[in-house]
Every structure is written in structure tokens, then in C-alpha cells.
Structure 1
């Protein structure tokens, strides 16, 4: 009986990174997440643990840094610091019209968790269904650029991991009821600020290789960060736009979901050198015939230039996108502008009050780990 009580106390006060049994660790996490629902899915990425929960008809996502008993204390500290960094970034942007926010933050077994209701599809979901129309691709790209510009105003120079999985979409016709179909399909949000500015803060140019320009493969000094890294996301935007217009083809000449992030032993696409070599060439558009709109193809080619100084800035990209949208569909052009103006006006009215319901949570999370 004594042994059982000791075990019970240990479980109640479990530190997740001290637990070597993955089944016990997952059971402990699932038990502590029951207020958000039953865990119906769990997977790991290189840096994160992701749990999917269901409560009634609602789906929730819980995300935590990936840590285990085999890691050194310094590695664990680094992983948790990076995650706190993400929480602070999301809180500081505080723009629910452009940036995906989280609903709750909680410490479980000495590890921070972000919990959010899953209300959105990803751009990857949309691309896998079919290629986006020029109008929809332009409207999504324009909104993403607006979000990146907003982040820049909040001193987030570089998202560093701009990919379809980190762009969330709401279908307009499911948010609002109109007598006639809306002229553009999606409201877009920027998601996952987990490695934003990481090249500056952690001196690590992390990212996802299919979306990384040449400069993201090299070490970055603080002096070079603002100039060198200010257009990393523009390169990634070009790749994203190409995927939107081609139904998932990457400029390298392969379908992105077929070659990344599959870690098959011996697969050349898992090697950094393959992607680095591709990113070092200015002419890399393999299937221009799949894009009938020459102006958009020119924009993509400009975005993926090897020399970052040769890439257009956000202002130029927005101008090109709006001009092309105006030419293709005047109604969509006017509707997109009116819709975004409405969102920004509502956001401006709310900005003075900040994000009060999250303020205490963010403060508590930071205080909990300040002496880690």
C-alpha cells in the first residue's frame, strides 16, 4: 500500500521530462487535458507534441514543446524557452483578424501547453483539394502579406516558417450568409510564430527546407539579421503562391506533399544539400505552363530570387496583387478591400483594450519558467 501511495504522489507531481515511460507520460497529459475533451489523436514533430481533443462537437488542439528524459537539462531549457518565446509572440501581435490566437495556456507536469479550438482549415488542405483560382490565390497571398506587415510593426522581422500548414483559412460563405456567392472564398490567418525571429534570438535560422532561401541555410549574426532576413518570408511567399496556383506543385518540379517532410532512409529530399543547391539558383520554376497568368508567374520568380535585395518588398507585392485582382475581377477587388477594412476597423476599436483575458495567463506562464 505504501508503494502505491508513493507512486500516486509521484504521478500527481510528475515532471514530464523525468518520465521515461511514454505511455505513462501520455496518460498523465491526457488526464490533465480532460477539461478540453477526450484525446483522439497525438503526433510529434521535430520540436512539438500535438494532441487533438474532442468535446461534444468541438475539436481542440493542444501543443507543447517536445522534451524527453534522454535530453540534457540545457536542451530541455532551450525547448521550453523557445515555446515561451512563441507564446509571447502570439500575445504581442494581438490581432485576431490576421493572426491565429490561442484560447488557453496551461502548465502540465512542468511543461507549457497551448490549447486552441480548431475552427479553421489550412492552406495545405485547400491546395490538396485542388488548385486555387487566380482570384482566390491572390486574395490569400494579399492577406498573408498584410499579416506579415503587421508582424513587422510588432518587431517580428521574420516568421521563418511560412508554409501552407501555417496559413489557416476560413470559408467566407460559412461565416456569413449572402444571397449570391461571395467573390473570394477565404479569410486567411497567419499561424505558428514558434520560430519567428529565431535567427536573431537563438542564432538559429530554423525553417522548412522547401520554403527556405539560401540565406536561411547560413549562420546569422545580429548585425546582418535585419537586412539579410527581412525578405526570407518573401521567398517563402513565392513558393506558397506557386503551390496555390498549381495544386501543390513545388517550383523544384515535384509535388511538395510527395517529397516533404517524408524522412525515408536514402531519400534525397531529406538531405539539406539538395534544397540548398536548389535555393542557390535564380531560375528554378520548372512548370511555368501550369500558370497561365504571366504577371503572377513574374511575381513568383521575383520572390524566389537568390539575392534577397532583388526580391520585391511587401508594398510592391501588395500593389502587384491588387492590380492583378482588379483586372481579373473588379467585384473581388472591391470586396476584398472592403472586407479587410472592416476587419481592421473592428481590430482598431478593440486594440486599446489589448487582450485582457490572456494577459494573466501569459504573465503566469512567464513567471513559472523565469528561473528554469
Structure 2
């Protein structure tokens, strides 16, 4: 019997590869495809009358500079870290993993978009925006309590679930639920000395390559709070639209290291403070160059809840119900089904790529 090529999965024509994922994902058809820096995604349509209708399959992107074994091991690391955060309603999670033709595949629920899709939505009011950020602090706090430091936190890595797309609910801005996603960068600084992230959202300590922690997430949360409440303006003073949608020349300009190093060196000044002084003060506190001067995630959450209560006691109560439900649903122990799937994937990778064969 002829041995399969280590890259047999990638050597398949893209349509055939997608159909293979449809088969393993027990879906009806492929809806779309996408690709990021380290992974490729095939969106799957499960058909009418199936819940959830939309799911997706993610697998490592083929890279010539990585062996098949190393690609698989890096992807396994990401999935193990993501599984370690399960379960919290504000953290994205895989519901199954497979090993197909020497390649690890993770299956996820597909949500209604990511945060960058909603930032400039003129129909999304301030209460809904504050609600989402407050819930995001809960998801991040859950991750940090489990020793998980996200180094590439940005709007594209915050998925958004619209509860109104699933349930019959009264019209309000408060039904959007954020989920922390993409765990490929988690703990890279501590584990392998890799500090990078997405330049417009990197904290000073990432540029300086010093210890990362909850304070790093608080810094990025401050950037996103300003961006969300200003409808798309980064604290440094420019609109973020072109960067989010990879439109040049704006996208390439925002990719320049010197641009962001200079902003950090100046002390991360806020060019156009938010008109609400309390929110502006909170953003400034989050963007403090000194890590010890920044508030904790729980302090940020408390301030935002207080500001929301000033605007609407009803809305604040609504968000508190979300937080209480998330706390009660948060699993103290690992989900045994997912744990078993990940352990099976690890065994398959070790058997397929034995160390002494490399």
C-alpha cells in the first residue's frame, strides 16, 4: 500500500477538500471560505430546520516553513488552550475536533459576525455598546482566571452572537453577546518569548517585551471601548475602517511598526477624547503606559455598570442578569466530551507524527 503524502489534505483540490469537511461535519453544503494568518476556515450550512444551521471547520494553514508535525502540534496547542477556557458564554469554543489525513480540524458554531462588523452600525445605540463591553470584561476575566493571556485581542477576534437571530425577543440594543475568540496567540510570550499581536492593539509591554497579564487585556479593552463608543475612531485619532477591511493605503499605513512605537513612546495620547467625561477618564486609565496604573477588569466592569445605571436602570439590570447567568453557567470543571475529543486528537497526532521519526 502506498503511503499518503504528509500534505495529502492540502494537495486535494479546494472544492474536494471542502466537501470532505462537509462529510465529516455532517453538514449539507459549504457556504463560504475564509483564511487568516495561521488558519483556514470553511463555513458549513447544515440545511433548513437544523439548529444551529451554520457551523465552521478550522484547520492549520499550510506553511512551507513548518513541518506537518509542527503545524499539527501548534494547532493542537491552540485548541487545548481554547478548551481550557470552556465553558463561559462570552468565550468561543470548539464543539468537536477531528484528525483527517494527518491534519487536525476543529468544528465551531458560526456566529453573526465579529465586532468589527458592528462598530460603525448607526442603529446600535450606546446602551448596547456598553452592554457588550461589560460582557466582554467577564469573558476576559474568565480567561485570566485560568491563566490565559490573549496577545491578539482586537475586534476581529471578538465574535458577536445576536440572540435575536435565535430567539423571539423584544426589540432592544442589548441582545448582542461578545465571545473572546482565536486562541492561537494565547500565552506565547510566557511559553516561547513571542510578544507580537496586531499592531494597532498592542500594549506598551508587548512592544517592550516585558511581562504580560490582565493589565494587557485592560489596555486593549480601553482601545476598543474608545473605538466602539466613537463609532470607529482609534484613540490615536484616525478611523479604523480601512484597517478592519484591509483597504489600502490605510491598511498598509497601519501595519507600520514605527507608527505604533511612536504612539506608545508618546504615552499613548488620546487625540479625540470621548465627549462623555466619565468614559473618557476610564479610557485614559486603561491606556496608562504603566501597567500598575491601569484598573483591573473587574474595576472596569464596575465603572461601566455604574455609568450604564446612570443612563438606564432597566438596561443595567438586564446586563446584570447576563453577568449572573454567565457566572452560574461557567463550568468549574472541564466539559468531559470536549476533553475526550481533544485527548483523542492529541493521541492521533502523536501516533501519526512520532517524535523519533522527525
- Give TM class, smaller chain: 0.7 to 0.9
Please state if 1:271 is matched with 2:256.
yes
Contact 1:131 1:244 in 2 (8 A): no
Q: Could you say which residue in structure 2 is the equivalent of 1:299?
A: 282
Q: Could you say which residue in structure 2 is the equivalent of 1:71?
A: 65
1:338 Cα deviation after fit: 2.0
1:344 Cα deviation after fit: 2.4
Q: Could you say which residue in structure 1 is the equivalent of 2:115?
A: 123
What CA deviation, in whole Å up to 9, does each residue of 1:225-251 have, x standing for no partner?
3xx443111111111111211222212
Equivalent in 171, 176, 192 of residue 202 of structure 1: 192
Equivalent in 33, 36, 42 of residue 42 of structure 1: 33
Whole-angstrom distance in 1 between the partners of 2:303 and 2:70 = 41
Contact 2:264 2:289 in 1 (8 A): yes
1:253 Cα deviation after fit: 2.1
1:213 Cα deviation after fit: 1.3
**Length-normalised TM-score, structure 1:** 0.83
**Length-normalised TM-score, structure 2:** 0.86
1:27 Cα deviation after fit: 4.4
Q: 1:59 to 1:333 in 2, by over 3 A?
A: same
Contact 1:42 1:52 in 2 (8 A): yes
Matching of residues 1-372 of structure 1 within 5 Å: 13-16=4-7, 24-35=12-23, 36=25, 37=27, 38-57=29-48, 58-68=53-63, 70-73=64-67, 76-130=68-122, 132-156=124-148, 158-178=149-169, 180-182=170-172, 184-220=174-210, 225=211, 228-260=212-244, 262=246, 267-288=252-273, 291-347=274-330, 351=332, 354-370=334-350, 371=354
Whole-angstrom distance in 2 between the partners of 1:92 and 1:131 = 36
Aligned pair count?
344
Q: 1:331 to 1:72 in 2, by over 3 A?
A: closer
1:25 Cα deviation after fit: 5.0
Q: 1:212 to 1:283 in 2, by over 3 A?
A: closer
Q: Secondary structure at the match of 1:141?
A: helix
Q: 1:249 to 1:110 in 2, by over 3 A?
A: same
1:85 Cα deviation after fit: 1.4
Contact 1:100 1:190 in 2 (8 A): yes
Whole-angstrom distance in 1 between the partners of 2:8 and 2:14 = 12
1:172 Cα deviation after fit: 3.9
**Unmatched segments (≥5 aa) in structure 2:** none
Q: 1:71 to 1:155 in 2, by over 3 A?
A: same
CA RMSD of aligned residues (A): 2.7
> Is the deviation greater in 267-276 or in 252-261?
252-261
What CA deviation, in whole Å up to 9, does each residue of 1:121-160 have, x standing for no partner?
321111142374332222111111111111112111x111
Q: Could you say which residue in structure 2 is the equivalent of 1:3?
A: none
Whole-angstrom distance in 1 between the partners of 2:161 and 2:307 = 23
> Is the deviation greater in 210-219 or in 275-284?
275-284
What CA deviation, in whole Å up to 9, does each residue of 1:296-336 have, x standing for no partner?
11111111122222211112212211111111110111121
Whole-angstrom distance in 2 between the partners of 1:202 and 1:261 = 30
What CA deviation, in whole Å up to 9, does each residue of 1:29-48 have, x standing for no partner?
22321223433433332211
Whole-angstrom distance in 1 between the partners of 2:66 and 2:305 = 50
Q: 1:134 to 1:282 in 2, by over 3 A?
A: farther
